Amino acid sequence: MQRREFLSNIALMTVGLLLIAAAAGQQTAPANRLSIEQLIEIKHPSNPVWSPDGKQVAFIWDRANIGNLYLANSDGRDNPAALTSYTERGVTDPFWSLEGRSIYYSRDGHLWQVMPGGRPQLAWSSSAIESDFALSHDGKRILFVRHLGKAESQQGGNLVVRALDNGAESNLVHDDLSIEHPIWSPDDANIAYIAGSKIIHHDESPLYAGEKLIFVNPEYVPGQLFSIPANGGKATKIDSPGEYNGLAWVDADRLTYDRQSDQFKTRTIYVFDISGAPQPKAMHVDKEEKFWSLPDWEANAKPNPSPNGKWIAFLTDLDGWDHLYVVSTSGGQAIQITKGQFETWRPVWSHDSARIAFDANEPGKPGDRRIGIANIDNNPAKATVGYVTAGKGTNIEPRWSADDKHLVCQHTDTRNSADLFVIDASAGAKPVRLTDSMPAGIDRSLFVEPEAVRYPGPDGQSVPAWIFVPKNLDRTKKHPAIIWIHGDGINQNYDGWHVQRNYAVYYSFHQYLLQQGYVVIAPDYRGSIGYGREWRNGVYMDVGGKDAKDAWMAANYLKTLPFVDSERIGVWGLSYGGFFTLIAMTDQPTLFRAGVDVAGVVDYVMYYNDPYHGDWTEGRIGTPEQNPQVYASASPLSHIDRLARPLLILHGTSDVNVPFVESVRLIDEALKNNKGPFTSFMMYPGEFHYFSREHVLRDAWHRVDDFFALQLRQEPRGQDPGQRAASAGQ
């Protein structure tokens, strides 16, 4: 008996020592590893604006969807200084006063101003909601819209001009429906604006959701463009009602914008003379065989007039690649400025109209981007192009200083999320870093660099992808792997951190997963940008077809890697990537061990019938009546009966990109087909499409982490919610 007790005590002591050693290992090993809490602390800079003297750059630094205003010295000395410290409802749209003594910004329906070193204060007191603030070129007046309701979308509004010296206001015009996007002419004599746009609600309460739940289903009806003298007078209609993409003044008398027509096969750039022309003049017309797919929202492909009013710069893909063109505002043939098998985006004129800065990838390197400058010098036919950045990394969105000697741009790479840098426009000088968005304590040496790979798609075409292999991975053993599918369709992965905040948070989380031992691959399926028009237009009449197969066939590539366990491959994606995840999990029910659908489309007939998205869908696959078979293929909802592996669904209730009702419908159909045991669903009240708020990010990342750990690693290691809350508090 004594001997048994002795042996038992020895065993207990041994177990105790092992537990102590394990605890010590848990305390020391993770010290260098990325944590979910650190992910949330990574900030994202945006909206850099130069001070008039070029010595400072004001910008917004976003942390978990709360943007605060910061000020950095353009020479990189000292850390950026915080000018605001909001904990909710951050700042937007900053701009400097003309003399450079203060910075204005919009927040919570009002205009604010702050002086460096001072405290923020309202620019003026008003009980109304106000928006669309714009400073006149002479710096003496503020133009804005004063809304009559409690929100911008309610009860129309007034177009107001306010003098900064004495606060005198003049109401130029009223519209019962809406006024939006007002802009000053270069001489401050006229103002262009859009009025009369409206929202028609087609709200629904589907039977599967219950009678007390109403899902908002808005239809946007575009308004009419007007111009009005800034000192008051009669408003003049310009063109017919519709979209006015890239609306801008060419000079004191002319406006430019573009429109798409013919089921998105035609894009036309117009110039309209407000001094008496009865019709707009077409300056350039693009005709696409399939559809106009150049990503306006990302590439800024809209017409961009030079400050002197002589030229319009724009992007088009006439030779199969997105390139910079210039056309005279007097008319004539457009002149191509950049050439080659690469993509040119985000052009911006220098103030003297002599140069255009832009960002572009190098041929064969779609994941890197560099800042280029085209020297126009009043003769686009003899333009020369040079580059002022070099090496790896993604440099985007250049903005000129007032004297045109420097540019500020955003840079990302394999060890740095988005940061701001200042570049000498004459080249040769080393870029000056203004920000460091990573929180202290992150060991950047642990970040895994992606490797560009290719594998065959369903028709043999080569699919580009980026693979991440954890550092010091034991390649003699089999490890779990995850396929990440980016959203938007027209987007891409980069050689390092994603340039957009919405996808940078996912890149950050993948670095966390890599440190957990997963292999990660991110395909750029057909439809992705950065690879030319043919690859981007490969989704035409085939949404959810070969493009979806491009994505899930990354699993076939992973199976060729000796260190990947083919029985433990997971798949997940956001938006369009969530849609592809649902296709993968139903089209190949046993290929993947588990999947995570973040706000994915479940049925494209349902998506088309949402007026907010009908145009996007129609341009790619026509209407359900025209192409019923295409729509049937683009419906993972109709194949949910084939689901055979665990599926986690995450969706925000305030999502307008992919309405929350899509996931509600998916759950209903899964339950009807006895697939409830395979599905888990988490909704995030009030959250938008991309997941941005701190509490949502924390829960979503822990939930996905725990889900993949259980399904791919057989590790039920999820924390107790109380423990997690306590950790978050610490």
CATH (domain of 342): 2.120.10.30
Span 35-66, pLDDT tens digits = 999 999 999 999 999 999 999 999 999 999 99
Assess whether 253 and 343 both reside in one domain: yes
Q: Would residue 8 count as lying in a domain? A: no
- Region 415-435: mean pLDDT is 93
* Half-sphere exposure at residue 644, Cβ-oriented, CA atoms within 13 angstroms: 10
Give the confidence band of 12 by pLDDT, cuts at 50, 70, 90.
very low
Structure-block tokens of residue 468: 């991440």
Pick from 386-395, 416-425, 609-618: least confident: 609-618
Assess whether 574 and 699 both reside in one domain: yes
pLDDT of residue 612: 73
pLDDT of residue 25: 37
pLDDT of residue 296: 83
Question: In the chain, how many domains are there?
Answer: 2
- Region 578-589: mean pLDDT is 97
Assess whether 383 and 461 both reside in one domain: no
Range(s) of the domain holding residue 316 = 243-389+396-402
pLDDT of residue 635: 95
Strand-pairing partners, residue 104, are: 95, 113
Assess whether 471 and 358 both reside in one domain: no
Averaged pLDDT score across all residues of the chain: 92
Q: Would residue 34 count as lying in a domain? A: no
Span 535-547, pLDDT tens digits = 999 999 999 999 9
Say if CB 622 and CB 599 are below 8 A apart: no
Say if CB 584 and CB 596 are below 8 A apart: no
Above 90 in pLDDT, residue 514? yes
What is the DSSP pairing of strand 81-82 with strand 564-574?
unpaired
pLDDT of residue 216: 86
Q: Would residue 221 count as lying in a domain? A: no
pLDDT of residue 613: 73
Assess whether 498 and 631 both reside in one domain: yes
Determine the Cα–Cα distance for residues 603 and 161; give it in Å rounded to an integer: 47
Structure-block tokens of residue 200: 């028609």
Q: With the C-alpha atoms ordered 609, 615, 617, 621, is the resulting torsion angle positive or negative? A: positive
Span 111-139, pLDDT tens digits = 999 999 899 999 999 999 999 999 999 99
- Region 303-308: mean pLDDT is 98
The SS3 call for residue 300 is: coil
Give the confidence band of 569 by pLDDT, cuts at 50, 70, 90.
very high
Q: Nearest-CA neighbor of 385 among 318, 336, 331, 442? A: 336
- Region 678-686: mean pLDDT is 97
- Region 347-371: mean pLDDT is 97
pLDDT of residue 31: 53
What is the DSSP pairing of strand 190-195 with strand 66-73?
unpaired
Q: Would residue 95 count as lying in a domain? A: no
pLDDT of residue 276: 83
Say if CB 313 and CB 373 are below 8 A apart: no
- Region 621-648: mean pLDDT is 95
Above 50 in pLDDT, residue 320? yes
Assess whether 356 and 457 both reside in one domain: no
pLDDT of residue 19: 31
Determine the Cα–Cα distance for residues 393 and 360; give it in Å rounded to an integer: 12
Assess whether 366 and 491 both reside in one domain: no
What are the CA-CA distances from residue 603 to residues 58, 543, 644 (Å)?
44, 11, 19
Determine the Cα–Cα distance for residues 511 and 492; give it in Å rounded to an integer: 18
Task: Give the position of tokens 């009966």.
Answer: 641
Say if CB 98 and CB 117 are below 8 A apart: no
Structure-block tokens of residue 124: 């003026």
Above 50 in pLDDT, residue 682? yes
Strand-pairing partners, residue 236, are: 227
Burial class, 82, CB count within 10 angstroms (exposed 0-12 / middle 13-18 / buried 19+): exposed
Task: Give the position of tokens 């590439």.
Answer: 299
Say if CB 323 and CB 344 are below 8 A apart: yes
Q: Nearest-CA neighbor of 457 among 582, 562, 542? A: 542
Assess whether 364 and 473 both reside in one domain: no
Residues 6 or more apart whose CB falls under 8 angstroms from that of 406 comprise: 54, 74, 400, 422, 423, 424, 425
Crossing angle of the two packed helices 694-713 and 721-729, in degrees rounded to 10? 130
Assess whether 657 and 535 both reside in one domain: yes
Above 60 in pLDDT, residue 108? yes
Q: Would residue 377 count as lying in a domain? A: yes
Say if CB 408 and CB 71 are below 8 A apart: no
Residue 523 identity (one-letter amino acid):
P
Determine the Cα–Cα distance for residues 727 and 730; give it in Å rounded to an integer: 5
Span 441-466, pLDDT tens digits = 899 999 999 999 999 999 999 999 99
Residue 518 identity (one-letter amino acid):
Y
Give the confidence band of 627 by pLDDT, cuts at 50, 70, 90.
very high
Span 142-186, pLDDT tens digits = 999 999 877 666 678 999 999 999 999 999 999 999 999 999 999
Above 90 in pLDDT, residue 68? yes
pLDDT of residue 154: 61
Span 691-705, pLDDT tens digits = 999 999 999 999 999
What are the CA-CA distances from residue 573 to residues 259, 485, 498 (Å)?
32, 5, 15
**188 dihedral zone (left: phi>0; alpha: psi -120 to 50; beta):** left
- Region 575-583: mean pLDDT is 97
pLDDT of residue 20: 31
Assess whether 368 and 499 both reside in one domain: no
What is the DSSP pairing of strand 129-135 with strand 121-122?
unpaired
Is pTM, for the whole model, over 0.85?
yes
pLDDT of residue 6: 32
Q: Would residue 593 count as lying in a domain? A: yes
Final residue before a domain boundary, out of 379, 402, 425: 402
Q: Would residue 200 count as lying in a domain? A: no
Determine the Cα–Cα distance for residues 25 and 29; give it in Å rounded to an integer: 6
Residue 457's CATH number: 3.40.50.1820
What is the DSSP pairing of strand 564-574 with strand 594-598?
parallel
Say if CB 519 and CB 564 are below 8 A apart: yes
Assess whether 473 and 619 both reside in one domain: yes
Q: Nearest-CA neighbor of 183 among 233, 145, 239? A: 145
Assess whether 546 and 659 both reside in one domain: yes
pLDDT of residue 297: 80
Pick from 25-39, 445-459, 625-639: least confident: 25-39
Determine the Cα–Cα distance for residues 365 and 359; give it in Å rounded to an integer: 13
Q: Would residue 166 count as lying in a domain? A: no
Span 360-388, pLDDT tens digits = 999 999 999 999 999 999 999 999 999 99
Gyration radius of the chain over CA positions = 27
Determine the Cα–Cα distance for residues 298 and 287; give it in Å rounded to an integer: 21
Determine the Cα–Cα distance for residues 522 and 574; give it in Å rounded to an integer: 12
What are the CA-CA distances from residue 123 to residues 51, 105, 160 (Å)?
19, 9, 15
- Region 252-272: mean pLDDT is 95
Final residue before a domain boundary, out of 369, 402, 435: 402
Final residue before a domain boundary, out of 346, 377, 402: 402
Pick from 74-78, 222-226, 429-433, 514-518: least confident: 429-433
Above 60 in pLDDT, residue 30? no
